[in-house]
Structure 1
Amino acid sequence: MKYFPPEKLKFLKLANSEILGFVSQLFLPLKPTSTKTSALLMVAGVGLSLGIPNGAIANTSPTLQSQQKTLLISQKSNNVQLNLVSFSVTQAAYEKIIPQFVAKWKREKGQDVVFKQSYGASGSQAQAVINGLEADVVGLSLALDVKTIQDAGLIEAGWDRELPNGSIVTRSVVALETRPGNPKNIQTWADLAKPGIKVITPHPKTSGLGRWNFLTLWGTVTQIGGSENKAREYVSQVYKNSPILPKSAREATETFFKKGQGDVLINYENEVIWAKQTGQGASSYVIPKLNLSIDNPVAIVDKNVNKHGTREVAEAFAEFLFTPEAQREFTKVGFRPVDQTVAREVEKQFPKVDRLFSVVDLGGWNRVQKKFFDNKAIFDQIQSSKR
């Protein structure tokens, strides 16, 4: 028998349980109860016990050898990289949450987690992931953006049942942010359609906030009994009052404050709170009593975590986002928590909304996308009428 030097047998230092887990993953494509699987598992087990190096069992293909290498690295390395892709206004919260998770994982697993992060407009981020930005975890503004990634084959169906609260990790509502003292006396949704009012809202084709704002405007008519014709008329007038449609929520905030454009910014409540905390311009704001529940999901990008060998740490991080520790950090930057314990702690921090409707009340995301945001749908028709 050929002698293999010790450096080629490093993988034998794996504990028995790790070996079994490793071997099982090598043969996942095979049915566990098949004779072929049993035979291969037996051969693999013998091979491991005899110290046969990787690649010596059944002339494994380069692809399988690569998968084996990835599995070994993910199991034994002292550090692991996790790629997080999220929408722009979550960055301040994640800067506080990530160090807490890194410390927790180090204590429990003895492994260092290095995060690579990307923030931008939600729709643009989803498209970037589809185009090759290899996110392990995505936190996006709306479920529709996650579904877009799912439809591209990167996220498996059922992602919204894999995590607590239907995978909705934060909530917010829509705020009307005005110049200090509210000189135009903007108090209600109807005020946005008045002549001479300049409205800043992001573009709904690129921004999650842009879509939420559009749906809120529409729903403030239909959810109190108004017809769809009345809703179209009202929304059209608001967009006629919009001189510019920034690409993202953060860009809209900068347009309003740094560039001084507009009388009112339709914004996330959490973004208003964050801007005040960071001193990005004085303003007044109103939380209308009729409002839309802005539900922000998080999801594991299955194809990428399988490729990177990072599923365990990715799932642990996603689940950590629902803990009171993480929820408190989201709350500090203005998000409404989904954890009930934290919600009770901060109940007085947020203005009460008398009537809250959701995307489900408007028909659900599939219907909403086709009706409002597909090419030549209602939003495009409204934009064309402005010209």
Structure 2
Amino acid sequence: MNKLLLSAVAALALVSSPVLAQPTDILNASYDIARELFEAENAAYAATGATVTINQSHAGSSAQARAVLEGLQADVVTFNQVTDIQKLVEGGYVSEDWTSDFPHNAAPFYSFPSFLVRSGNPKNIKDWGDLAAEGVQVIFPNPKTSGNGRYTYLAARAWATEEYAGDEAKIEEFLTKLFANVPVFETGGRAATTAFTERQLGDVLVTFEAETLAVVKQLGADKYEAVVPSVSFLSEFPVAVVDKVVDARGSRDLAKAYLDFLFTPEGQEVAAANFHRPQDATVAAAHAATFPAIRLVTVEDAFGGWDKVAADHFADGGLLDKVFVNQ
């Protein structure tokens, strides 16, 4: 067969070979109280002219991490704690240097554990110590299944560490009483909100400020009040491209562009309007009246970093388990 014929055959083969279609959609696996936030973010992103379809999956942040490891084809994750993305790093789904892929250590916005009480605050709940009082029922999600719940545990422990000058016996006693005041541990933050607002369980809901302010707006200030404690725990909401999925689907550019949008002034404005505290200083200043001042402790300052938290508190037999066991 001559060279000319070989070239013609090769060209025909190229023309007749199937061309893989480029994806036109991506899946965002997110934490469960972020439904309304990402409905708004996705609409704003579409308004920029982006034609990609953003599908959403919502559940507890830790549950979502497990789902991805078990096969959920999420192109991006927008979680509420670093440790859940680290699980994906360990599983080979996300690159080790994911925090450098976006500004602010890949956290476009943040919040903190706050309180929601019924109108008039009948139990006079003002700070963490009030949650351990006899006769007070507290609603928050299970720290075993929810990043929201883990932040609540860490915020309560940080307060107790200051209140009791690091006396571990007193800290554990306080946390044991607090956990004993929880009538039911829901698996995620939105289920906890539903238990408090629809099932009318409990005297106080502990959840992210973003959720407490949204409930007051949606259900009425005549029914609920948001209470900001004296101190809380900085809760950054990190995002990442799921490399293993986007490389298989050919969706990396779509995934990256979508997450980039969350850090733009437009994306930050949407976050602030949905009660997530923005990182952008200009947007934050424009919404200053919405967000009261509060002292926030960080995981590094209060607990020595996420790796130490995972080993000391959330590993099997760790300090969190002692609180459950002692109930």
Aligned to 2:129: 190
Gapped runs of 5+ residues in structure 2? Answer: none
Aligned to 2:217: 277
1:375 aligns with 2:319: no
**Root mean square deviation of aligned Cα:** 2.1
Aligned to 1:143: 82
- Contact map agreement 1:327 1:339 (CA 8 A) in 2: yes
Match for residue 206 of structure 1 among 145, 154, 157: 145
Match for residue 244 of structure 2 among 284, 300, 303: 303
Deviation at 1:365, TM superposition (A): 1.0
Aligned to 1:24: none
What are the residue-to-residue correspondences of 1:257-336 with 2, within 5 Å? 257-279=197-219, 282-336=223-277
- Contact map agreement 2:216 2:225 (CA 8 A) in 1: no
Structure 1 letter corresponding to 2:271:
F
SS in 2 for 1:154: coil
Q: Following the alignment from structure 2 to structure 1, what is the Cα–Cα distance between the partners of residues 125 and 326?
A: 25
SS in 1 for 2:244: helix
What are the residue-to-residue correspondences of 1:90-109 with 2, within 5 Å? 90-106=34-50
Aligned to 1:84: 28
Q: Deviations over 1:202-236 (max 9, x none)?
A: 10011111000000010002245332222212111
**For this pair of structures, how many residues does the alignment match?**
320
- Contact map agreement 2:115 2:212 (CA 8 A) in 1: no
Structure 2 letter corresponding to 1:385:
N
Q: Following the alignment from structure 2 to structure 1, what is the Cα–Cα distance between the partners of residues 201 and 220?
A: 14
- Contact map agreement 2:88 2:94 (CA 8 A) in 1: yes
Gapped runs of 5+ residues in structure 1? Answer: 6-46, 57-64, 107-111
Q: Following the alignment from structure 1 to structure 2, what is the Cα–Cα distance between the partners of residues 159 and 274?
A: 30
The 3 A distance-change label for structure 1 pair 166 and 223 is: farther
Match for residue 221 of structure 1 among 160, 170, 186: 160
Larger Rg: 1
Structure 2 letter corresponding to 1:208:
G
Q: Following the alignment from structure 1 to structure 2, what is the Cα–Cα distance between the partners of residues 105 and 315?
A: 16
TM-score if structure 2 supplies the norm length? 0.92
Match for residue 170 of structure 1 among 109, 116, 134: 109
TM-score if structure 1 supplies the norm length? 0.78
Q: Deviations over 1:254-273 (max 9, x none)?
A: 00111111111111110011
SS in 2 for 1:187: coil
The answer to which structure, 1 or 2, has the higher relative contact order (CA under 8 A, 6+ apart) is: 2
Q: Following the alignment from structure 2 to structure 1, what is the Cα–Cα distance between the partners of residues 32 and 162?
A: 29
Q: Deviations over 1:13-39 (max 9, x none)?
A: xxxxxxxxxxxxxxxxxxxxxxxxxxx
